[in-house]
Structure 1
Amino acid sequence: MSAPTTTAAAAPMTHRQTLEALSGLLLVLFVAMLSGTVVSTALPKIIGALDGSQIQYTWVVTATLLTATATTPIWGKLADLFNKKTLVQVAIVVFLVGSVIAGFSQSAGQLIAARAFQGIGVGGLQALVQVAIAAMIPPRERGRYNGYLGGVMAVATVGGPLLGGLIVDTSWLGWRWCFFVGVPVAAIALVLLQMTLRLPTVRRENVKIDYLGASLIAAGVSVLLIWISFVDSSFAWVSWQSGAMVGGSILLLGLATWVESRAAEPVVPLSIVRQRTTALAILGSLAVGMAMFGGAVFLGQYFQIGRGFSPTEAGLLTIPMMAGVLGSSIIAGRMITNSGKLKPYIVFGAVVLVIGFGMLGTIDHETSLVLVGVAMFIVGTGVGMTMQNLVLAVQNTVALKDIGAASSTVAFFRSLGGTIGVSVLGAVLARRVSDQVTHDLTAAGIPASGSGGGSLNLEVLPEPVANIIRAAYGDATGHIFLISAAIAVVGIIAALLLKPVNLRTSLDLPDPVRSAAVAADAVDGAPAFDQVSVDSAGTRRPPVAGA
Structure 2
Amino acid sequence: MSTPSSPVQETAGPRRGVLPALSGLLLGMFVSMLASTVVSTSLPVIIHDLDGDQAAFTWVVTATLLTTAISTPIWGKLSDLYNRKLLIQIAIVIFVLATAAAGFSQDPGTMIAWRAVQGLGAGGLAALSQVIMADIMSPRERGRYMGLFGAVMAVATVGGPLLGGLITDTLGWRWNFYVSIPFAVLALIILQRTLHLPARVQRKVNIDYIGIILLSAAVSLLLIWVTLAGDSFDWWSTETILMVGGAIVATALFIVVELRSKEPLIPLSLFRNRTFTLAVIASIATGIAMFGASVFLSQYMQLARGATPTEAGLMTIPMIAGLLLSSIGVGALITRFGHWKPYLIVGSVFLIAGSYLLSTIHYDTNFALVSLYMFLLGAGVGMTMQNLVLVVQNTSSPSEIGVASSGVTFFRSLGGTIGVSVMGAALASSVTDLLSDAKEQLTAAIVSLGAGGAEIAEQIQSGTLPQVSSMPEVVRVIFEDIYAQGISHSFLIAVPFAVISLIAIVFLPNASLTRMTTSERMRASEADLATVSVPQGMDAVTATGTVRTMTADSGSASADAADDASVSPR
SS in 1 for 2:173: coil
**Aligned equivalent of 1:51:** 51
> Which of 369, 373, 376 is residue 371 of structure 1 equivalent to?
369
* Deviation (angstroms), 1:482: 2.1
Confirm whether residue 495 of structure 1 aligns to residue 493 of structure 2: no
Please report the TM-score for the alignment, with normalisation by the length of structure 1: 0.89
- d(CA) in 1 for partners of 2:274 and 2:402? 18
**Aligned equivalent of 1:148:** 148
* Deviation (angstroms), 1:199: 0.4
- d(CA) in 2 for partners of 1:451 and 1:399? 57
* Deviation (angstroms), 1:203: 3.2
Q: 1:317/1:445 Cα in 2 relative to 1: closer, same or farther (>3 Å)?
A: closer
Higher helix share: 2
Contact 1:51 1:108 in 2 (8 A): yes
**Aligned equivalent of 1:80:** 80
Contact 1:72 1:408 in 2 (8 A): yes
SS in 2 for 1:204: coil
> Which of 495, 503, 511 is residue 525 of structure 2 equivalent to?
511
Cα deviation, 1:155-204, whole Å, max 9, x if unaligned, reads 3221111111011111xx21011111111111111111011101013133
* Deviation (angstroms), 1:439: 1.0
Cα deviation, 1:195-223, whole Å, max 9, x if unaligned, reads 11010131332211111111211121111
Cα deviation, 1:316-343, whole Å, max 9, x if unaligned, reads 1111111111111111111111222221
Contact 2:40 2:294 in 1 (8 A): no
> Which of 327, 330, 342 is residue 328 of structure 2 equivalent to?
330
Contact 2:53 2:465 in 1 (8 A): yes
Confirm whether residue 483 of structure 1 aligns to residue 488 of structure 2: no
**Aligned equivalent of 1:348:** 346
SS in 2 for 1:205: coil
**Aligned equivalent of 1:66:** 66
* Deviation (angstroms), 1:474: 1.6
Confirm whether residue 228 of structure 1 aligns to residue 242 of structure 2: no
SS in 2 for 1:23: helix
Contiguous gaps of at least 5 residues in structure 2: 1-11, 447-455, 533-558, 560-564
* Deviation (angstroms), 1:458: 3.0
Confirm whether residue 38 of structure 1 aligns to residue 44 of structure 2: no
In percent, how many aligned pairs have the same letter?
A: 52
Letter in 2 for 1:163: L
Cα deviation, 1:362-407, whole Å, max 9, x if unaligned, reads 1100001111111111111111110000000100011222111111
- d(CA) in 1 for partners of 2:13 and 2:413? 32
Contact 1:433 1:469 in 2 (8 A): no
* Deviation (angstroms), 1:480: 1.6
Contact 1:38 1:178 in 2 (8 A): yes
Cα deviation, 1:22-80, whole Å, max 9, x if unaligned, reads 11111111211222211111011111111111100111111100111111100000000
**Aligned equivalent of 2:127:** 127
* Deviation (angstroms), 1:109: 1.0
- d(CA) in 2 for partners of 1:401 and 1:118? 29
> How many residues were matched structurally?
510
Contact 2:14 2:141 in 1 (8 A): no
Contact 2:300 2:487 in 1 (8 A): yes
Contact 2:286 2:412 in 1 (8 A): yes
Letter in 1 for 2:525: D
Letter in 1 for 2:295: V
- d(CA) in 1 for partners of 2:217 and 2:149? 31
> Which of 450, 465, 468 is residue 456 of structure 1 equivalent to?
465
Q: More deviation in 365-374 or 333-342?
A: 333-342
Task: Choose 1 or 2 for highest CA Rg.
Answer: 2
- d(CA) in 1 for partners of 2:254 and 2:29? 30
Please report the TM-score for the alignment, with normalisation by the length of structure 2: 0.85
**Aligned equivalent of 1:175:** 173
- d(CA) in 1 for partners of 2:26 and 2:531? 39
Q: 1:315/1:121 Cα in 2 relative to 1: closer, same or farther (>3 Å)?
A: same
- d(CA) in 2 for partners of 1:414 and 1:196? 30
* Deviation (angstroms), 1:306: 0.6
- d(CA) in 1 for partners of 2:130 and 2:145? 11
- d(CA) in 2 for partners of 1:261 and 1:340? 36
> Which of 293, 314, 322 is residue 291 of structure 2 equivalent to?
293
SS in 2 for 1:203: coil
Give the RMSD, CA atoms, in angstroms.
2.5
- d(CA) in 2 for partners of 1:153 and 1:359? 25
- d(CA) in 2 for partners of 1:422 and 1:148? 29
Q: 1:385/1:58 Cα in 2 relative to 1: closer, same or farther (>3 Å)?
A: same
- d(CA) in 1 for partners of 2:16 and 2:355? 39
SS in 2 for 1:498: coil
Contact 1:298 1:477 in 2 (8 A): yes
Cα deviation, 1:431-469, whole Å, max 9, x if unaligned, reads 111111121123444599856153323367665444322
Confirm whether residue 472 of structure 1 aligns to residue 482 of structure 2: yes
Contact 1:224 1:245 in 2 (8 A): yes
Q: 1:70/1:250 Cα in 2 relative to 1: closer, same or farther (>3 Å)?
A: same
- d(CA) in 2 for partners of 1:143 and 1:281? 19
Q: More deviation in 54-63 or 443-452?
A: 443-452
* Deviation (angstroms), 1:151: 3.6
**Aligned equivalent of 2:24:** 24
Contact 2:44 2:467 in 1 (8 A): no
